Amino acid sequence: MTALQTEAALPDTVQAVPPAKKKPRVIGTTAWYVVALFICAVMVVPLLWMITIGLKSRTAVFDIPPKLLPHEWTWSNFINGPKAIHFPKLLLNSFVITGLSVIGGVLTAMMAGYALARLRFPGRKTWFYLFVGSMLLPGVVGLIPLFQMYKSIGWYDTWLPLIVPAFLGGNPLFIFLARQYFLAIPYSIDEAAKIDGAGHLRIFVSVMLPLTRPAWLTMAILAFQASWNDYLNPLVYLYSSGKWPLSVGMASFISPFAGKTPDWSYYMATNLLYMLPPLIIFFAAQRYFIQGLGALGSTNQK
Amino acid sequence: MNSVSPGGFTTKRRSRGGMSRNAGSDVRAAYLFIAPAVIGFLVFVGYPLIRSFYLALTKYNGLTDPVFVGLGNFRRLFTTDPAFWPALRATGYLVLLYVPLSLILGLALAMFCNQRFAGVRIVRTLAYLPVVLPAVATITLWKFMLDPQVGLLNTILDRLGLPTSLWLQSSSTSMPSVVLVMLWGVGGTMIIFLAALQAVPTELYEAARVDGAGPWSVFFRITMPMISPIMLLQVILQTTAALQTFNQPKILTNGGPGFSTKVLMLSIYENGFPTLGRIPQLGYASAQVWVLFVIIIAVIALTAKFSSLWTYSDSTSD
């Protein structure tokens, strides 16, 4: 809470009250809402504009001066646009790649976090620091050697380079988050389970996983986002367009082929569909997004 | 979070009690649980790090065996390659433009969203929204937004009677335009600052208010010192990310016009993974990777070294 906040901690009805009583604050309130409106507009207007382009006819997009709303609403763009890039195929590719890498990334990070936080073993600290240190390692360092490695074992132009690393604790941030979360769970719970004769696998699966639900949901969302949005890796590792996920497919949609101008109305209609899964997840699970990154902010404070 | 875990304490007590059987099973279980991550670390972090250093010292086209050339790649980079210095300059320009703006706007937005007004949650959600959307989707959207003829930005500027711009199509405005697109995702910076702001104890602000401190001195004497560790983290994260920017220049301009937005990452990509018909220069690209890597390490080291000058650490919390 900031000083401004305490100052503004008047009832929300303050805007409806005549501005006679406490003038400076009311000006503050008005100013706040003006700025808020501006911020919202900056964030939302491009998306609304995208939808209007998706609804324009293919030639109306290039009208000069441009019109903000379409003359005639071309709903068929939402059918023909996706068809033009084989959207269903690419969507399925994206879902398979993303789904598997979410499962792998979350599961192996939770396992590593469990070991680092709750089990004593030689090298525990060393591995923790190595994982945390690798968070700062730029991804580009691995790009060329890994590309050659995948090529030599026949993984080039397959989905394996996009999925297998996730099953090997691919994201050190997740390991870090999992460890922090596991540290906060009271140790009496494990003790009780051990007395009941539960092994580590049992404790992990039936005690820890239910208790750490917010943590792995957060990670699952972040992993989904990372994989769904990833562009560089599939661009480098996948050659055949039939294997592309949506990110590469969408980007190739607008790169001009042999002088042909890209079809913006088709593109924007399809783009909306491409955005939908992350959008739905965001609005359904907003607090996990905020929590996950918030955790990064607050855990590092000490 | 406390690094001295109560678990360590319990285990110690237990082993003192002579239950070494449990300690042994702990170790075995730990290795099993951590095995995937350890293998992943060795294969996807350790191996490529060493291998890429070796490749940086070779001439390698990916088909025939690498030929050791010593520092030849670096010599070529720094002395004869006409594209290297422009790439370095473009990368530096991007970082110097993006990082300060992202931090200032991110913090301002976080402070703006850390106030109790009806609807603040909507603002917070919408400000974070672009971060959630796929990079390719938003970048291509902005590519069209910035189109000088039919784009929304020039349309709006024109209607308001303001001067329009060529945006991505002129070499003087292309990089600022790329940064503008990146800043649309400032919600990512905001959300971390917001968590830091919310962790500042309210009593500090109340005490300051009682003492009659004005908003500026509250900001510089309470807010900034209290969030300075997060500021440090943000400076490091943002700078290392900005140095590796790829998607925006690749999709928006593909490096153009001229060399104006051809950042180091794009140059690495083009040398290592060229369009069909050209021979990949993997050794040369690896040398570029190492230049970038050394810059990143230097930035982190310098930021951390001088952090004691401007970050505040609460000695009682150690």
What is the reported pTM? 0.82
Dihedral angle computed from the Cα positions of residues A92, A94, B138 and A70, in that order, rounded to the nearest 10 degrees: 0
A239 and A98 in one domain? yes
State whether residue B265 sits within 8 Å of chain A by CB: yes
Judge whether B155 and B74 are in contact, CB under 8 Å: no
pLDDT-derived band at B3 (thresholds 50, 70, 90) equals very low
Query: Phi/psi zone of residue B151: left (φ > 0), alpha (ψ -120 to 50 degrees), beta?
Result: beta
Taking the CA of residue B32 and the nearest CA in chain A, the distance in Å comes to: 9
Tokens of A280: 């739905």
Residues A60-94: tens digit of each pLDDT: 777 766 676 777 777 877 887 788 778 889 999 99
Neighboring chain A residues of B115 at a CB cutoff of 8 Å:
2, 4-5, 8, 32
- How many angstroms away from the CA of A89 is the closest CA of chain B? 18
Tell me the percentage of chain A whose pLDDT exceeds 70: 82
- Of chain B, the percentage scoring pLDDT greater than 70 comes to 91
- In whole angstroms, give the CA distance from residue B129 to residue B124: 9
Q: Which of residues 102-121 of B touch A (CB under 8 A)?
A: 109, 111-112, 114-120
Residue B154 has a pLDDT of 86
Q: Do residues A179 and A116 lie in contact, with contact meaning Cβ atoms separated by under 8 Å? A: yes
Mutate to test the interface with B, among A120, A183, A253 (most CBs of B within 10 A): A120
Which one-letter DSSP state was computed for residue B313?
-
Question: Token match 């991505």: residue?
Answer: B168
Same domain, A157 and A215: yes
Comparing B196-200, B266-270, B313-317, the range with the smallest average pLDDT is: B313-317
- A58 and A94 both lie in a single domain: no
Q: Could you say which of A36, A124, A144 has the minimum Cβ distance to residue B282?
A: A144
- pLDDT value of position A5: 38
Last residue within a domain, chosen from A79, A114, A136: A79
Report pLDDT for B99. 96
Put simply, the answer to whether B44 touches A168 (Cβ < 8 Å) is: yes
Query: Which of A140, A182, A191, A248 is best to mutate for the B interface (most B CBs within 10 A)?
Result: A140
Residues A7 and A127 in one domain: no
Under DSSP, is residue B59 helix (H, G, I), strand (E, B) or coil? strand
- Which of B293, B139, B186 lies closest to A251 in space, CA to CA? B139
What contacts A44, CB < 8 A, 6 or more positions away? B126, B129
What Å distances lie between residue A155 and A98, A151, B271, CA to CA?
18, 6, 21
Q: Which two tokens stand for residue A79?
A: 């059918």
Q: Are residues A184 and A217 in the same domain?
A: yes
Q: Which residues does chain B have within 8 Å of residue A224's beta carbon, measured at their own beta carbons? A: none
Does residue B273 carry a pLDDT above 50? yes
Q: Nearest by CB to B268, from A35, A140, A190: name it.
A: A140
With CB atoms and an 8 Å threshold, state whether A299 touches B1: yes
**To which H or E segment does residue B235 belong?**
helix B224-243
Q: Pick the more confident residue, A16 or B293.
A: B293
User: Considering only alpha carbons, which residue of chain B is nearest residue A291?
Assistant: B195
Q: Is the peptide bond before A122 cis (omega within 30 degrees of 0)?
A: no
Q: Do A71 and A113 have their domain in common?
A: no
Full residue range of the structural domain in which residue A60 is found: 3-79
- Residue A258 makes CB contacts below 8 A (sequence gap 6+) with none
Of the candidates A34, A61, A79, which is a domain's last residue? A79
Task: Give the tens place of pLDDT for each residue, A23-54.
Answer: 344 558 888 899 999 999 999 999 988 888 88
Question: Residue B41: its pLDDT value, please?
Answer: 92
List the 122-161 stretch of B: residues with Cβ below 8 A of A: 122-123, 125-130, 132-138, 140-145, 149-152, 155, 158
A179-183, A258-262, B97-101, B300-304: least confidently modelled range = A258-262
> Which whole number is the average pLDDT over A196-208?
86
**CB-closest option in B39, B196, B286 to A168:** B39
- Which of B29, B112, B251 is nearest residue A251 as measured by Cβ atoms? B251
Buried (b) or exposed (e) across A255-286, using 16+ Cβ within 10 A? eeeeeeebbbbbbbbbbbbbbebbbebbeebb
* b/e code A17-52 from CB counts within 10 Å (16+ = b): eeeeeeeeebebbeebeeebeebbeebeebbebbeb
Q: Which residue of A has its CA nearest to B291?
A: A141
- Compute CA distances A153 → A147, A158, A161, A279, A299, whole Å: 10, 11, 11, 37, 40
Out of A24, A45, A79, pick the residue that ends a domain.
A79
Residue A6 has pLDDT above 80, yes or no: no
A9–chain B nearest CA distance, Å: 6
- Out of B5, B6, B36, the one facing A108 most closely (by C-beta) is B36
B39 in contact with chain A, both atoms CB, cutoff 8 A = yes
With an 8 Å Cβ cutoff, are A5 and B114 in contact? yes
Q: Which residues of B touch A229 (CB under 8 A)?
A: 133-136
pLDDT of residue A18: 40
Which chain A residues are within 8 Å of B116, Cβ to Cβ? 5, 8-9
Task: Report the candidate in A85, A99, A108 with the shortest Cα–Cα distance to residue A252.
Answer: A85
A129 and A237 housed in the same domain: yes
Is the same domain home to A185 and A47? no
Confidence tier at B93 by pLDDT (50, 70, 90): very high
Interface with chain A: mutation pick from B54, B117, B222, highest number of A CBs within 10 Å:
B117
State how many domains chain A has: 2
Please work out, in degrees rounded to the nearest 5, the angle formed at the alpha carbon of residue A217 by the alpha carbons of B117 and A42. Answer: 40
Burial code (b: 16+ CB inside 10 Å, e: under 16) for B126-162 equals bbbbbbbbbbbbbbbbbbbbbbeebbbbbbeeeeeee
Least confident of B103-112, B115-124, B260-269: B115-124
Helices (H), B42-173: 47-56, 72-75, 84-113, 120-132, 135-145, 152-159
CATH code, A172: 1.10.3720.10
Question: Is A47 in the same domain as A130?
Answer: no
CATH topology classification for B81-317: MetI-like fold (1.10.3720)
Distance (Å, rounded) from C-alpha A107 to C-alpha A111? 6
Domain ranges of chain B: 81-317
Reference B123, options A46, A40, A9; nearest CA is A40
Q: Do the Cβ atoms of A100 and A163 come closer than 8 Å?
A: yes
Are A300 and B233 inside 8 Å of each other by CB? yes
Contact B114 A2 (CB under 8 A): yes
